Amino acid sequence: MNLHIDIQDADFVGAFALLGLLIGSFLNVVVHRLPKMMERQWHAELNSAATATAANPDSPLPTPQPEPEFSLLRPRSHCPRCCHVLRWHENIPLLSYAVLRGRCSACHGSIGLRYPLLELGTALLFAGCAALSGPTQLVNVLAWCGFCAVLLALALIDLDTYLLPDPLTQPLLWTGLGGAALGWTGTALIDAFWGAAAGYLSLWLLATAFRWTTGREGMGHGDFKLLAALGGWLGWAALPPLLLLASSLGALVGLTLLWRQRRATPQIMQNDSATRAPLYIPFGPFLAAAGLVIMASGHEPFYSTLGLRLTDFGLVLK
């Protein structure tokens, strides 16, 4: 994405900031409900299989009781404590949170700070995409706004559940490849293809080597798919700086959390590793954060620092 900021485009940027607020409000719903929808589906499939196995072949299967509709649209947004259904003026991004002072109007329970922060973050990212591309590249702006929105949702879902859902990672991958083919992302199709392939294989090989060496799983398949999607959007050349940045952020956060855990743990427990809970940090949020940084800055500064230059024939020395 090329920097193209013009003060006359303020209305265009402002419109996308407003759109970001609305999409951010919807992302709060996606982050909260999509894992629960997947869990319900898994339970339904397990119950169906168990019923079919245990049932007498000569008797009809019991009719399953229908469950209340639960989707991204139903039921309406409500307080998780008192089930108060939010009225329209209680569901305005940022403004409602400020007016209500972060509390439910019915039970006065606190509303998590994540809700307005996600709305604000989405607005800033959408405004940034609009400023980076300009009004002459509307389709490009819309494509990258969608990219940002999905990455935000994936990062928060991974933080909450250690899951990177296929309903988000797979469309992100295919839209990246499709956008490259249609010229919507600014990434050449061949670069997007090899970016997706190299992204998936690099983490798959790393996880396989870790499993063979330690006998434990070190990374989920969702991380493979997310890096493949990032490679499809940003191209193969973005993968080295992206992985370096994501790994550095992950290591920094991991060391900080480990230091805090040890400080909070009595010395007698520090000497007994069996009593300490294992520290697991999802990698998805760091991949998403690095992807957003590379989207905004490009990969050229990374290679320039190493004295390399990207050409049609690959990387060469300056």
Residue 190's pLDDT is what? 95
Tell me if residue 68 falls in helix, strand or coil.
coil
Distance CA 185, CA 174 (A): 12
Instruction: Look up residue 21 and give its two tokens.
Output: 């607020």
- The answer to whether the beta carbons of residues 157 and 308 sit under 8 Å apart is no
Residue 260's pLDDT is what? 85
Residue 9's pLDDT is what? 79
Distance CA 257, CA 262 (A): 9
Distance CA 53, CA 280 (A): 36
Residue 3's pLDDT is what? 46
What pTM, to 2 d.p., does this model score? 0.86
8-state DSSP, 51 = H
Per-residue pLDDT of the chain (318 residues; tens, 9 = 90+): 444 445 557 889 999 999 999 999 999 999 999 999 998 888 778 877 776 666 555 555 555 556 677 888 888 888 888 888 888 888 899 999 999 888 988 898 888 899 999 999 999 999 999 998 888 899 999 999 999 999 999 999 999 999 999 999 999 999 999 999 999 999 999 999 999 999 999 999 998 998 898 888 778 899 999 999 999 999 999 999 999 999 999 999 989 888 888 887 665 445 554 455 567 889 999 999 999 999 999 888 888 877 777 765 555 555
Residue 2's pLDDT is what? 47
Whole-number CA gyration radius for the chain: 23
pLDDT digits (tens, 9 = 90+) for 243-298: 999 999 999 998 988 888 888 766 544 555 445 556 788 999 999 999 999 999 98
